[in-house]
Each structure stands twice: as C-alpha cells, then as structure tokens.
Amino acid sequence: MAVNARQAFLVVGVICVTASLLAACGGSTVDAGPSPSTATAPSPAATYASGSLPAAAVDALKRYFAAVAAGDSDAATALLTPSSPLRGDPLMGIAAIRDVAVERRLFGPPPAGVSAMPMVSAWVDGGADSSWGPGSRHDFFMAVIEAPVGVWLIDHMATSP
C-alpha cells in the first residue's frame, strides 16, 4: 500500500512540475476565471475529428484573430461562446499579432463538448505586463463549437511555448 501511495505522490509531483514549466514558457491554457455570462455554452452540433475544418470555422477563427490584431475587444468577444473563459480578456493580453495562419487540417478528435480543435499559428508580441514575452511564434489550439449548425464560436484555447 505504501508503494502505491508513493507512486501516486510521485506522479502528482511530476505533473505539477511539468505544468509549472509549461506555464513559465508560455505553454499554458488561458483561464480568465468565471464568465460574466450566466448562459451555458451551446452543445456542439457536430464533431469534426479529422479531415478539413469547415470554411465557416476557418472564417470565425480568422475574424477572431483579426479582432485581436486590431485590439477590438467587442469584435473578439462577439465570436466567443457565452461561457468562454476568454471573455475575461478577449484579446488574451496580446499587444500585437501578425502572420496568422489557420491550419485547415484536423489531426484528431476534439475534447468532449467541442466540435473541433484546430491549430492557429501566429507571431505574438506581448505587452510590458504580458506573459507572452518578446515577439515569438506561438501555436494556438482553438476549441471551436458549431452551434447552431453553420455558426462557429471560440470557446477556449491552449498554446505551445
């Protein structure tokens, strides 16, 4: 029994250290806390696990990142689900973003409650108080939801360092 407890403690410790390292390198999930909206996120109408991302989803992602590039919080917020954690900071603390490329090919099944999770690559410049740091390329894994059919909204995202 003691061996199992030690092993569990070791696994938890490794997970915590890894999460801390990823956060320090910018590889963290954005979590702006609870949404000001009391509405729940729409359920996805379809799940896209492989193949190509639908054109309407690509368009929603391009419009979202264009709003971030323009510093337009209202336009960015309009493309988020009602319960998106990004609503707390729809511009994600990004001072400038350029060379945005939406990966149209899907690589695997999305997490539960998400229609697809495509990758968006971009050059990001963080502000003085931002965790993004000086300019560098980042990959955003965007959780998008199709609800109702044909209308795509961004729910949350994760990044790579």
Q: Which domains does the chain have, with CATH numbers?
A: 30-159 (3.10.450)
> Do residues 125 and 135 touch, judged by C-beta distance below 8 A?
yes
Residues 6+ apart with CB under 8 A from 64: 76, 79, 80, 154
How far, in Å, CA of 127 to CA of 67, rounded? 17
pLDDT, tens only, 76-135 = 999 999 999 999 999 988 888 999 999 998 888 888 889 999 999 999 987 666 677 778
Please state, in angstroms and as integers, the Cα–Cα distance from residue 134 to each residue in 26, 33, 47, 129, following that order.
11, 25, 36, 11
Rounded mean pLDDT of 134-150? 87
Region for residue 99 given its phi and psi (left: phi exceeds 0; alpha: psi -120 to 50; beta: otherwise): left
What are φ and ψ of residue 96, in 5° steps?
-155, 145
pLDDT, tens only, 22-62 = 333 343 333 333 333 334 555 666 788 888 999 999 999 99
pLDDT at 6: 37
Q: Cis before residue 148, ω within 30 degrees of 0?
A: yes
SS (H, E, C) 85-128: HHHHCCCCCEEEEEEEEECCEECCCCCCCCCECCEEEEEEEECC
